[in-house]
Amino acid sequence: MKRVGVIGGGQLAWMMADAARKLGVELVVQTPSEGDPAVSIAQEIVFAPVDDASATEILAKKCDVITFENEFVNLDALSVLAEQGVCFRPRLEALTPLLDKYDQRCYLRDLGLPVPRFFAVEQTENLKSKIEHLGFPVVLKSRRHGYDGQGTFIIQDLAALEEKLSYETITKTLNQSLFLLEEFVPFERELAVMAARSVDGEIVTYPVVETQQKQQVCRQVIAPAEITPNQVAQIEAIAHTLLNSLQVVGIFGIELFLTTDGKVLVNEIAPRTHNSGHFSLDACETSQFEQQLRAVCGLPLGNPSLQCAGAVMVNLLGYENSHSDYQSQRQQIAEIPQAHVHWYGKTQSRPGRKLGHVTVLLDNQNREQAMAAPTPLANAVAQTIESIWYPS
């Protein structure tokens, strides 16, 4: 496998570049716009939206295998290509139960994995009786195309829920007016794990991390999470069950809740590389991007373990509408010892947009402190970065 097609040309595809070079793999990317991050690193580009399957047919002719950096594809249309022999990794059947958040919850529950209580909502009628066993607050989610908290709403009471549903139903297309409603989990922390599975069925998991969200958007990731060995084992078992059940070839991100009584629940599956695995670029022997390429190219998987005591990854999120490249803030952040800044080269900043990230290795001079108490140290480093990045 020498030429890998990638559906989606955002930062997740852009970050595959170094690994592709290392493995001698060429990347051919399907992405809509000239300004998309991966345009600068691709050998060849098919300019088209990710759900344009006729563009994917063209992409398929230019490569040996196709993988995903964005899952908002048209699976029905792609399955025609698969029947004609186009090789998708992960296979389309591994994506089918995941693209709709309600279907995904059902799939996980049926596998016996722990998930929050949930049901599907189509109209406001009968809501009262259905919701009684959940209690408020509840979490309402668009079943499709949600990301970075878009389409996720925490709702405090029935009136607000009914209002939200009728507003969303009126303003959105029929397809988007289908919702998943679930219990609000008063989690103690949010966790995530990346797991890869090879063509031969070998599975490797990355260290479990703690993710910290603000307004449903990830702000920072601490690796490794300070959890018990038993919780790590439970999470690794979840990853194995899921990847084996779907016969995944590739890498998946699994987002989890750790409840106040120490239970682990699965929140969401990303069938690709994920923000919670970015630390692996600088902190692990094999990054999540190299692992994805290894898996889809049929190579043996690499060592996913941390090469340092710990790491903290902080997202550099847009906070204004601007064309600035934030050179001076990036420079200041890069001067933090052991900091690695990744700037995605997006030409436009918008509030909440992921423009880049920085990973700081908690090591060397801080090694003892990092080993003894990684979380407070990681939080302090993240605070320093955010105080440089965000205007006060």
**Chain residues that interact with ligand ADP, rule: CB under 6 A:** 116, 139, 141, 146-150, 152, 182, 184-185, 190, 213, 216, 255, 267-268
Kind of pairing between the strands at 65-68 and 3-7: parallel
Distance (Å, rounded) from C-alpha 46 to C-alpha 5? 10
Q: Kindly give the residue spans of alpha helices, DSSP state H, lying in 84-218.
A: 92-95, 101-110, 127-131, 158-171
Minimum distance of ligand ADP from residue 366's CB (angstroms) = 28
Minimum distance of ligand ADP from residue 216's CB (angstroms) = 4
Cβ-based nearer residue to ligand ADP, 147 or 326: 147
Q: Helix or strand or coil: residue 157?
A: coil
Which among 16, 39, 11, 35 has a CA at the least distance from the CA of 218?
A: 11
Cβ-based nearer residue to ligand ADP, 3 or 219: 219
Query: Where is 266: in which H helix or E strand?
Result: strand 264-270
Cβ-based nearer residue to ligand ADP, 25 or 269: 269
Minimum distance of ligand ADP from residue 219's CB (angstroms) = 11
Cβ-based nearer residue to ligand ADP, 5 or 151: 151
Minimum distance of ligand ADP from residue 269's CB (angstroms) = 10
Minimum distance of ligand ADP from residue 146's CB (angstroms) = 4
Please, are residues 330 and 3 in contact by the beta-carbon 8 Å criterion? no
Question: Would the CA dihedral through 235, 143, 186, 385 be positive or negative?
Answer: positive
Minimum distance of ligand ADP from residue 194's CB (angstroms) = 15
Cβ-based nearer residue to ligand ADP, 116 or 318: 116
Please, are residues 339 and 359 in contact by the beta-carbon 8 Å criterion? yes
Cβ-based nearer residue to ligand ADP, 47 or 72: 72
Minimum distance of ligand ADP from residue 267's CB (angstroms) = 5
Cβ-based nearer residue to ligand ADP, 47 or 119: 119
Which among 189, 156, 137, 161 has a CA at the least distance from the CA of 378?
A: 189
Minimum distance of ligand ADP from residue 180's CB (angstroms) = 9
Cβ-based nearer residue to ligand ADP, 32 or 149: 149
**What crossing angle do the helices spanning 374-389 and 327-334 adopt, rounded to 10°?**
150
Which among 275, 293, 276, 272 has a CA at the least distance from the CA of 71?
A: 272
Residues with Cβ within 8 Å of 195's Cβ and at least 6 positions away in sequence, in order, are 203, 204, 205, 206, 236, 239, 240, 242, 243, 251, 252, 254
Buried b vs exposed e over 10-34: b needs ≥16 C-beta within 10 Å? bbbbbbbbebbeebebbbbbbbbee
